[in-house]
């Protein structure tokens, strides 16, 4: 049936993408300046989001690049997009009064967007096997808030678990 054919197609497509993620090798040093710029832009996204969160008590933990730069498919006109993970203020966790930051678009020094999610929401995306988010566990372009290095390293070191759950 058409439905079964579609399911098989998407299953095979997912396997191909998962294998590509497993074999992901950070971008080769083809242009030192480009790599430095990409790191700087990811850090810039992190700092600008952090400045928006700090006054209300939310803690930005992790910002990572997603998109063409991770696969060496970027061009001179490619923008830099990121996903960020934050820990809400404890009062909002207790009262379940979460702030859902919308996609932050075009407010950066460089073109690009950032999707900001709570730790809970980000981990849920990993558990679901969402490839747009799993990519964040492989990219070398990251910024980690001080004090969270161990946990982010642990998450990235154990990233294969999320691929196994997907199958």
- 74, 110 contact by CB (below 8 A): no
Determine the pLDDT at residue 83: 92
User: What are the beta bridge partners of residue 62?
Assistant: 85, 144
Instruction: Tell me which residue of 64, 89, 72 sits closest to 144, measured CA to CA.
Output: 64
pLDDT over 60 at 129, yes or no: yes
Determine the pLDDT at residue 25: 47
Tell me the pLDDT tens digit for each residue of 49-99.
Answer: 898 888 888 899 999 998 888 888 888 778 888 999 999 888 878 887 776
pLDDT over 60 at 104, yes or no: no
Tell me the pLDDT tens digit for each residue of 3-55.
Answer: 555 555 555 555 555 555 555 544 443 444 455 578 888 898 899 889 888 88
């Amino acid at each position: 049936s058409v439905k079964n054919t579609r399911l098989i197609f998407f299953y095979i497509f997912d396997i191909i993408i998962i294998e590509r993620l497993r074999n992901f090798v950070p971008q080769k040093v083809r242009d030192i300046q480009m790599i430095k710029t990409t790191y700087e832009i990811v850090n810039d996204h992190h700092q600008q989001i952090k400045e928006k969160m700090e006054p209300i008590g939310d803690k930005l933990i992790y910002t990572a690049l997603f998109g063409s730069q991770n696969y060496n498919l970027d061009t001179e006109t490619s923008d830099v997009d990121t996903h960020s993970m934050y820990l809400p203020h404890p009062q909002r966790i207790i009262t379940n009064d979460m702030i859902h930051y919308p996609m932050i678009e075009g407010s950066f020094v460089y073109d690009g967007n950032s999707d900001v999610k709570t730790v809970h929401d980000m981990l849920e995306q990993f558990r679901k096997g969402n490839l747009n988010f799993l990519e964040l566990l492989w990219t070398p372009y990251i910024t980690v808030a001080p004090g969270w290095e161990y946990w982010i390293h642990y998450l990235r070191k154990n990233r294969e678990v999320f691929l196994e759950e997907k199958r």
